[in-house]
């Protein structure tokens, strides 16, 4: 009787499609920022019916997946390739990939990519605001505004160029670098050349290795209300 019970339990255990992953977590160890890392998960069907993967979803835009085959026969397997882009990342990370299927016992399994990104010392630029809204004024009048530039990196930040469209004037271009964990203010004034909507642009170039250009858009407040 005990043998029959065990046999019945074993049969029920593997009845239907059953997805098995030998290792649901993969540790990349320490990666350098900007490095691309890849890992292949092996998905096996240990059940007695055809397994169908309906969807694979990564929770982060930095993670891409490629499924070899969505249909797995009993005893078969497929490969799920995952790739991780580490640009802009720093420190310990945990990225999740969800696999949805017709496994009635576990219709969603979670796969985890983990590790640590080591960021090389570099200048890091942050600009605020990136959208400036001003009141419309008549040609010949002017309105002043300030844009803050912050260096939240570990090395000095140099502004190579601050380029403005015709209606914007930079009052003073800093010659010195911006020290780490510091910020400066760039003083601008808007001097329209003709009446109408405000559509101006400021382009800031620096030695931040991740971002070659940052754009500040100057628009009018009336556009925001529309």
Q: Which fold has domain 125-225?
A: Immunoglobulin-like (2.60.40)
Query: Residue 131: beta bridge partners?
Result: 217
Intrachain domains 17-118 and 125-225 with the same fold: yes
More confident residue, 64 or 9: 64
Residue 175 C-beta-side C-alpha neighbours within 13 Å: 0
pLDDT value, residue 175: 80
Please report, rounded to a whole number, the percentage of residues in the chain having pLDDT higher than 90: 77
Residue 200 C-beta-side C-alpha neighbours within 13 Å: 25
Instruction: Find the mean pLDDT for residues 40-51.
Output: 96
Domain locations along the chain: 17-118, 125-225
pLDDT value, residue 34: 87
Query: Edge to edge, what strands does the sheet with 77-85 contain?
Result: 19-21, 36-45, 77-85, 63-67
Burial classification of residue 180, based on how many CB atoms lie within 10 Å of its CB (0-12 exposed, 13-18 middle, 19 or more buried): middle
Reported as a single tens digit per residue, the pLDDT across 128-174 is 999 999 999 988 899 999 999 999 999 999 999 999 999 999 998 88
Reported as a single tens digit per residue, the pLDDT across 93-133 is 999 999 999 999 999 999 999 999 998 899 999 999 999 99
CATH number for the segment(s) 17-118? 2.60.40.10
Cis bond before residue 47 (omega within 30° of 0): no
Confidence of residue 56 (pLDDT cuts 50, 70, 90): very high
User: What CA–CA distance (Å, rounded) separates 122 from 166?
Assistant: 33
Query: Coil, strand, or helix at residue 28?
Result: strand
pLDDT value, residue 11: 45
Q: Are 110 and 98 in contact (CB under 8 A)?
A: yes
Reported as a single tens digit per residue, the pLDDT across 201-225 is 999 999 998 888 999 999 988 755 5
pLDDT value, residue 90: 86
Confidence of residue 6 (pLDDT cuts 50, 70, 90): very low
């Amino acid at each position: 009787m005990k043998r029959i019970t065990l046999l019945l339990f074993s049969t029920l255990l593997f009845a239907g499609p059953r997805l098995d992953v030998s290792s649901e977590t993969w540790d990349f160890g320490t990666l350098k920022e900007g490095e691309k890392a890849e890992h292949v998960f092996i998905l096996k069907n240990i059940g007695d019916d055809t397994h169908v993967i309906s969807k694979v979803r990564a929770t982060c835009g930095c993670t891409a997946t490629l499924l070899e085959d969505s249909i797995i026969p009993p005893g078969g397997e497929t490969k799920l390739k995952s790739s991780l882009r580490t640009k802009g990342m720093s420190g310990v990370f945990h990225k999740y990939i969800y696999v949805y299927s017709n496994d009635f016992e576990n219709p969603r399994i979670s796969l985890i990519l983990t590790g640590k990104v080591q960021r090389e010392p570099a200048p890091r630029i942050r600009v605020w605001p990136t959208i400036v809204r001003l009141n419309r004024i008549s040609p010949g009048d002017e309105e002043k505004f300030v844009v803050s530039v912050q260096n939240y990196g570990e090395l000095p930040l140099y502004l190579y160029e601050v380029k403005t469209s015709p209606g914007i004037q930079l009052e003073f271009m800093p010659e010195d670098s911006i020290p780490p964990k510091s910020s400066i203010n760039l003083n601008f004034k808007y001097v329209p050349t003709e009446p109408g909507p405000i559509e101006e642009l400021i382009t800031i170039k620096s030695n931040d290795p991740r971002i070659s250009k940052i754009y500040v858009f100057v628009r009018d407040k009336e556009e925001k209300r529309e």
